[in-house]
Amino acid sequence: MCGIIGFTGQTEAKNVLLEGLEALEYRGYDSAGIACFNNDVIDTIKTTGKVSSLRKKVVAMPEFHSTCGIGHTRWATHGGVSDTNSHPHTFGKVTLIHNGIIENYHELETKLAAEGKFPVSQTDTEIAVMLIDYLYHGNPMETLKKAMDYLEGTYAFCILFKDRPGVIYCLRNGSPLVACHCEEGSVIASDMVALIKYSKEYFVLPEQHIAVLTKDQITVFDAKDKVVMPKMLYVNWDMSAAMKGGYPHFMLKEIYEQPEALRSTIMPRIAKGNLPDLTNDGLPHTILDSVNRIIITACGTAMHAGLIGRVMFERLLRIPVTVEIASEFRYQKPIIDSNTLVITISQSGETADTLAALRLAKSGHAKTLSIVNVKGSSIARESDYVMYTHAGPEIAVASTKAYTAQLSCLYLLAFDFALEKGRLSEEDCSKEMEGLLQIIPAIEKTLTFHPLAKEISRNIKDCEDLFFIGRGLDYALSCEGSIKLKEISYIHSEAYAAGELKHGTLSLVTEGTPVIAVATQSSVYSKMISNIREVRARGAMVILITNGNNTVDSSLYDYHVPLPYLSDNFAPFTAAVVLQMLAYYTSVQRGLDVDQPRNLAKSVTVE
C-alpha cells in the first residue's frame, strides 16, 4: 500500500526516484509524485495516474535538477484519487511522503484547526505534515520524537525540512522501510526491489526509529536519541529477478518461475535419506511437544495456501487444524494458549491483518511460526520461528509463485512434523518427499499447456459469472482459482464445494455458465463426476481438470485439461498452475492491466 523512496547523493535524484517508483508501483498506482531540493526551495511534481504519467511531467521540465528528493506512488485510502490528494504533501517548512494510515487524524485535525491551520486535501497524511510543521522549531530530531507521541496508526515517512537541504529524515511505525548506502549516495524505500540496483546489502529500519540520510551516510537513532547499528541483510537475487525479462507481464514471468522457486524452497531442506531437514530454519524438534491444536492464519492467497495445509496436517498429524482469515481472527477473541501453534503465512511479511493476528497469538502465549517470502519483514521478525519461501521477488499483484512455494513449505512442515511424531516412518516420509520433488517436472510439463489455457480463456472471457467446483484439496484449490480470476479479469466467480452446489447455488447455473471442475482427488472422483453431471444437465460449459488422463465420458465437458499424473496429495501444485494460466490469459484477452489490477495493491499494510 503505497511505495515510498528517498535519495540523497551524488547523482540526479529524479532518475533514482522515478526508477525506484517504477519498481515500487505494484504497491499502489492511483497517483505518483516527487519532491526535490532545489537549493533551499523544495519543488514538487505530482499527478494522478501511474508513474509513467509522472515521468512525462518530469521529462517536460528539463530544468528540474537535484541530488536529494523523495518519491511516492499511492494506493488511495483517505481521500479520493486526485492531484491534491497525491503525495508529497507540503505544509510550511515540511514536505513528506507517507505509507500507512494515521488513525487519529480527525482528532489531530480538530486540534490544528483550533490553531488556525486547515488542510487542503482529504488525506490523513496532510494532517501529519501539518502536525510536524506545527511542532518544528528548528530541531528535526526533537520534532519527530514529539510527533511520534501524537501520531496513532501506521506510518513510514520520508521527510524534507526546507531549512535542511540535502538531508532526508525517515520515521517508521508499522509500515516497512529498508535502506542502503552505496556509491551513489543513500537510498531508502518501502521494498528492496527499489534498492537492488544499488546494493545487495541493506538494513530494515527498526520500528519507532529515525533514520537520517545524507549523501555520505545513514545514521539510525532509537527513540532515546541513541545511535544504533541495524543488522545488515543480504539478498541473493539481482536486478533481473525484479524485471520482466522479456515476458509481457510480471505475472506470466512469475508463473514460469515456479519450478525454480520450488527448487530453491525445497532442495535446501532435504537431508540424507530424502528426509525433510528444517534445522537451518531453526525449528526445534520439540516444536510440536505439548501442541494440541494448530491455527493457520493469513489473508487472500496465503490463506488459501493454509486451506491446503490444513488438509495435509490433519491427514498426517491427526491434530485439529483451523484456518482463520487474519482480519476476522484478530477480532474474534480466539481461544489460544501455550499448547497452540499459530502459523502465519505471508508473501510480503507486512500484511497488517496477518501481523496483528500474529501479535494476538503471541499475546495469548501461542508458539508462532511464519512462512514468509520477504526476508527481515515484520512478520518474519516477530515470529518465534520463520520458514522462508525462496520464491524471489513477486511483483505482480496476483500471487502465483509465492503461493506454490508456500504450499511446499506447508508440505515440508507436515512431513517433518509427522516424522517427528512417529506418524510417518522414515521410509514413508522419504516416499512423500519423493512425491514432493516430482511436482517440479510436473509443473514444467503443465506450463506447456498454455495454448489450451489460451483457448479456454477465449471462451470464458465474455462471461459474467463463473464457478469453480471441487472436493477436499480441490475445493481448497478452487478458492484460490476463484480469487485469481476475480482479481485480474474482473469476472465474478465463486468457489464451491462440489457437493454443496445443490443446496442453493445450483440455481445460478444456466445454459452456458462456465464451471471449472477440479477433479484430481481419486477418493472423491466418482462423487465429483456426479456433481459435474448435475451442472452439465443445467447446460453448464464444463472445463474439467483431472490428475492424469482419466477416461472420462466426453459428453461431460467442453474442455479437458489432463494434468501430468501425481499422487493425489500433490495434484494441487499442477492444478494451481492451470488456474493461474486461465486467469492470466482471460485478463490478457479482456485487455486488462494484468499486473496492476484496479483498486488493488500488492502489499496490504492497512487494516
Active site residues: 2, 602
Q: Is the dihedral of CA 135, 139, 142, 143 positive or negative?
A: positive
Decide whether 143 or 347 has the Cβ nearer to ligand AGP.
347
Residue numbers 412-431 binding ligand AGP by CB under 6 A: none
Query: Shortest distance, CB of residue 372 to ligand AGP, whole angstroms?
Result: 8
Instruction: Tell me which stretch binds ligand AGP (CB under 6 A): 266-274, 279-287, 300-308, 415-423.
Output: 300-308
Coil, helix or strand at residue 371: strand
Decide whether 21 or 604 has the Cβ nearer to ligand AGP.
604
- Cα 314 from Cα 303, distance rounded (Å): 16
Grid cell of 139 as nine digits: 530541531
Decide whether 70 or 397 has the Cβ nearer to ligand AGP.
397
- Cα 494 from Cα 431, distance rounded (Å): 35
Asked if 397 interacts with ligand AGP (CB under 6 A), we say yes
Count the residues of the shown chain that bind ligand AGP, applying the rule CB under 6 A. 15
- Cα 126 from Cα 86, distance rounded (Å): 10
Coil, helix or strand at residue 495: strand
Residue nearest to ligand AGP (CB): 300
Grid cell of 292 as nine digits: 494440541
Residue selected from 96, 398, 407, 424 as contacting ligand AGP according to rule CB under 6 A: 398
Residue selected from 460, 487, 573, 583 as contacting ligand AGP according to rule CB under 6 A: 487
- Cα 335 from Cα 329, distance rounded (Å): 10
Please state, as a whole number, how many other Cβ atoms lie within 10 Å of the Cβ of residue 27. Answer: 31
Asked if 604 interacts with ligand AGP (CB under 6 A), we say yes
CA 398, distance to chain mean position in Å, is: 8
Instruction: Tell me which stretch binds ligand AGP (CB under 6 A): 21-29, 197-205, 280-288, 299-307.
Output: 299-307
- Cα 355 from Cα 427, distance rounded (Å): 38
- Cα 35 from Cα 91, distance rounded (Å): 13
Instruction: Tell me which stretch binds ligand AGP (CB under 6 A): 158-166, 214-222, 239-247, 393-401.
Output: 393-401
- Cα 88 from Cα 160, distance rounded (Å): 10
Grid cell of 336 as nine digits: 489460544
Asked if 3 interacts with ligand AGP (CB under 6 A), we say no
Residue numbers 118-177 binding ligand AGP by CB under 6 A: none
Residue numbers 302-321 binding ligand AGP by CB under 6 A: 302
Query: Shortest distance, CB of residue 345 to ligand AGP, whole angstroms?
Result: 7
Instruction: Tell me which stretch binds ligand AGP (CB under 6 A): 6-14, 88-96, 134-142, 297-305.
Output: 297-305
Rounded to 5 degrees, φ, ψ at 144 are -70, -35
Instruction: Tell me which stretch binds ligand AGP (CB under 6 A): 88-96, 113-121, 128-136, 298-306.
Output: 298-306
Instruction: Tell me which stretch binds ligand AGP (CB under 6 A): 7-15, 222-230, 273-281, 394-402.
Output: 394-402
108 contact partners, CB below 8 Å, separation of at least 6: 102, 127, 128, 130, 131, 150, 151
Decide whether 346 or 404 has the Cβ nearer to ligand AGP.
346
Query: Shortest distance, CB of residue 152 to ligand AGP, whole angstroms?
Result: 23
Asked if 48 interacts with ligand AGP (CB under 6 A), we say no
Query: Shortest distance, CB of residue 427 to ligand AGP, whole angstroms?
Result: 35
Strands (E), 471-513: 492-497
Distance in Å from the first CA to the final CA of the chain: 11
**Half-sphere exposure of residue 468: CA atoms within 13 angstroms, side-chain side:** 28
Strands (E), 27-93: 31-38, 41-48, 68-74, 89-91
Residue selected from 189, 193, 299, 606 as contacting ligand AGP according to rule CB under 6 A: 299
Residue selected from 99, 264, 368, 399 as contacting ligand AGP according to rule CB under 6 A: 399
- Cα 295 from Cα 360, distance rounded (Å): 12
Decide whether 27 or 46 has the Cβ nearer to ligand AGP.
27
302 contact partners, CB below 8 Å, separation of at least 6: 345, 346, 347, 351, 354, 399, 402, 403, 406
Query: Shortest distance, CB of residue 588 to ligand AGP, whole angstroms?
Result: 16
Decide whether 318 or 492 has the Cβ nearer to ligand AGP.
492
Query: What are the C-alpha distances in Å from 189 to residues 37, 178, 316, 332, 421?
Result: 18, 6, 42, 34, 44
Residue selected from 31, 73, 190, 301 as contacting ligand AGP according to rule CB under 6 A: 301
- Cα 453 from Cα 583, distance rounded (Å): 9
Residue numbers 327-366 binding ligand AGP by CB under 6 A: 346-348, 351, 354
Query: Shortest distance, CB of residue 329 to ligand AGP, whole angstroms?
Result: 13
Residue located via cell numbers 488493488: 600
Decide whether 302 or 308 has the Cβ nearer to ligand AGP.
302
Asked if 287 interacts with ligand AGP (CB under 6 A), we say no
Coil, helix or strand at residue 199: coil
Asked if 489 interacts with ligand AGP (CB under 6 A), we say no
Decide whether 67 or 482 has the Cβ nearer to ligand AGP.
482
Asked if 389 interacts with ligand AGP (CB under 6 A), we say no
The site for ligand AGP (CB under 6 A) is made up of 299-302, 346-348, 351, 354, 397-399, 487, 603-604
